[in-house]
Amino acid sequence: MIPPETQAPLLRISALTKRFGGFTALDNVSVDIRPGERFGLIGPNGSGKTTLINCISGAFRTEAGTVMFRDEDITRLQPHMRTRRGIARSFQIPRPFKSMTVAENLMVALDFAAVTGEIVSAAQRRDTMMSILTRMGLASKANVSATKLSQVELRKMELARAMATHPKLLISDEAMAGLSSSEVDEVLDLLMSLAGQDITIIMIEHIMQAVMRFSDRVMCLDAGRIIAIGTPTEVMANQRVQEAYLGT
- Interface contacts to ligand ATP, rule CB under 6 A: 20, 25, 43, 45-51
* Separation of alpha carbons 48 and 52, rounded Å: 6
* Separation of alpha carbons 152 and 207, rounded Å: 15
Smallest gap from Cβ 18 to ligand ATP, in A, equals 8
Smallest gap from Cβ 69 to ligand ATP, in A, equals 20
Single-letter residue type at 32: D
* Separation of alpha carbons 165 and 161, rounded Å: 7
Smallest gap from Cβ 55 to ligand ATP, in A, equals 10
Residue number, 38 or 49, with CB nearest to ligand ATP: 49
Smallest gap from Cβ 104 to ligand ATP, in A, equals 30
Cβ atoms of residues 210 and 181 within 8 Å: no
Cβ atoms of residues 142 and 130 within 8 Å: yes
Cβ atoms of residues 177 and 203 within 8 Å: no
Residue number, 10 or 42, with CB nearest to ligand ATP: 42
Residue number, 55 or 194, with CB nearest to ligand ATP: 55
Q: Which helix (H) or strand (E) is 27 found in, with range?
A: strand 23-33
Which residues does 91 contact at the CB level (< 8 Å), separation at least 6? 158, 173
Smallest gap from Cβ 45 to ligand ATP, in A, equals 3
Encode 112-139: b = buried (16+ Cβ within 10 Å), e = exposed: ebeeeeeeeeeeebeebbeebbebbbbe
* Separation of alpha carbons 72 and 74, rounded Å: 6
Residue number, 90 or 128, with CB nearest to ligand ATP: 90
Residue number, 20 or 71, with CB nearest to ligand ATP: 20
Per the document, the length of the chain is 248
Smallest gap from Cβ 43 to ligand ATP, in A, equals 5
Residue number, 29 or 106, with CB nearest to ligand ATP: 29
